[in-house]
Structure 1
């Protein structure tokens, strides 16, 4: 049986039904535009995210912010490691730790942090560093499940299928390591301050192939999709090694990159191991 962290008599105190903007003001805190901070203020959304994250031994939370998800995760996991860049939020985190003894806050840049093993990763990922975060997670943590919130447009690209307008480098990269599911959309009014775009929550089920070189694969798909409307042979140009290995992978180079499947890209990348792709 799982031994979850101790909590106060009031369920999820003090994060259920809490006025987040008021809480921030009480600590003289304002969201930082430079960090792209928009804090989740919807109990309903927070509850749903955690329900999809399941339960287990250890979960890593990326960017816990005010601690809304952190407190809920503490009731489902033996250990919660919340990695936060903004140390100004520590007073809020101390409130969470006072109620949940199984929570640990780490004040570091997630991309520089040395991760521990975890069965799940949860977080609201910043748009501008989503791919590096995913790459680090896929390579160094390999969780069984990720439940992440990203911009809606980005979520559509992650789950896109070959031949669709939204299928691209990110689609191939995410689907090479996980099986992604779009769960639900989140309106801007569920955040403070409200962002200008709608968000989506995804569930990524881990499916890690040790033969895939993530760095090489990322370079390959980015190169292939740099001119997505052109035939692959015109994108590759005179790069003989790419042309030869594409044919060896049974890829029709007269097709456009959006017509190439994830499996084909993976096989192509495996044939390029040891090669330097610029």
Structure 2
């Protein structure tokens, strides 16, 4: 990795949380876990210098690789050419969080068929990536709210993985746990040592598999759930009866929300399973009566 950085006159940028995976065995494990077939399209978030892009491109039909750092994307283009893989990878220089979703959908749609052939709308869209530490949570929330993908295998810092797998009434359980659990099934696959990266980060990582739930939340449900989570976890020691007053100062409305959801107002938000917090969000929407 240091030789590649030197060749292209690059250096890791702390501001962008750049830690490059340098263990090809771990990259192969991630690519294998994605279970991409020659008919699939893979969206890779944060391609860096291609540690994961290369094994993905060897397994999938097409890879749409998003990389925020233009200098890295330029170097990756050369690396792909040297491995004979450039024709199967569409490099996009963009911040995934700011990439217009319409543009993303166009890229994925165009990758579903070869030029001059009939489009194959049945091709699966898979997602992979080594998510930058500094923006892991926003990227996860962006991903789970974007429909149309079949499976995701992503690497996150172990602390975030622990939060996603946390049980109610534990310190790691919080709004991120619930926001993701109400959209996806999350399964930790394996840990990756910090020594597999350059430069070496201060934490280890975990690879997760995510699969969208059969029923996805409507935009209004997502908005109401976000409001309930902000109230329930904003001050964790408050009971729900007191916490929900940030939604409405009317005690009668608060009690109506609790009654409709069948939730004990003496409990704290952290004690509820994700589905019960979603019940509160739906009750809040019904009681409030505003779009």
Q: Same fold (TM over 0.5)?
A: yes
User: Which of 148, 158, 165 is the equivalent residue of 2:154?
Assistant: 148
Question: Is 1:39 the equivalent of 2:39?
Answer: no
In structure 2, relative to structure 1, the CA distance for the partners of 1:214 and 1:130 (3 Å cut) is farther
Q: Which runs of 4+ in 1 moved over 4 A?
A: 274-277
User: Which of 46, 71, 86 is the equivalent residue of 2:69?
Assistant: 86
How big is the shift at 1:254? 0.6
What residue is the counterpart of 1:109 in the other structure? 95
Question: Is 1:232 the equivalent of 2:240?
Answer: yes
Q: Deviations over 1:105-131 (max 9, x none)?
A: 100110121322562111122334233
What residue is the counterpart of 1:175 in the other structure? 181
Secondary structure at the counterpart of residue 279 of structure 2: helix
1:111-130 correspondence runs (5 A): 111-113=97-99, 114=101, 115-116=104-105, 117=108, 119-130=125-136
Q: Deviations over 1:159-183 (max 9, x none)?
A: 1122322111111011101111111
Q: Deviations over 1:216-262 (max 9, x none)?
A: 32232122111222322222237244442232111111111111111
What residue is the counterpart of 2:269 in the other structure? 257
Greater per-residue helix proportion: 2
What residue is the counterpart of 1:245 in the other structure? 257
In structure 2, relative to structure 1, the CA distance for the partners of 1:243 and 1:190 (3 Å cut) is farther
Bigger Cα displacement from structure 2, 233-242 vs 167-176: 233-242
What residue is the counterpart of 1:166 in the other structure? 172
What residue is the counterpart of 1:133 in the other structure? 139
User: Which of 33, 39, 46 is the equivalent residue of 1:52?
Assistant: 33
In structure 2, relative to structure 1, the CA distance for the partners of 1:219 and 1:132 (3 Å cut) is farther
Q: Distance in 1 between matches of 2:133 and 2:224?
A: 22
User: Which of 50, 60, 64 is the equivalent residue of 1:67?
Assistant: 50
| Paired residue total | 258
Secondary structure at the counterpart of residue 129 of structure 2: strand
User: Which of 95, 115, 123 is the equivalent residue of 2:78?
Assistant: 95
Asked if the contact 1:135/1:214 (under 8 Å) is kept, the reply is: no
- Give the unaligned 5+ runs of structure 1: 1-19
What residue is the counterpart of 2:230 in the other structure? 222
Q: Deviations over 1:63-99 (max 9, x none)?
A: 0001010111112211100001000113322134322
Q: Distance in 2 between matches of 1:157 and 1:75?
A: 33
Question: Is 1:266 the equivalent of 2:274?
Answer: no
Q: Distance in 2 between matches of 1:48 and 1:73?
A: 11
TM-score for both structures, normalised by structure 2 = 0.82
Secondary structure at the counterpart of residue 141 of structure 2: helix
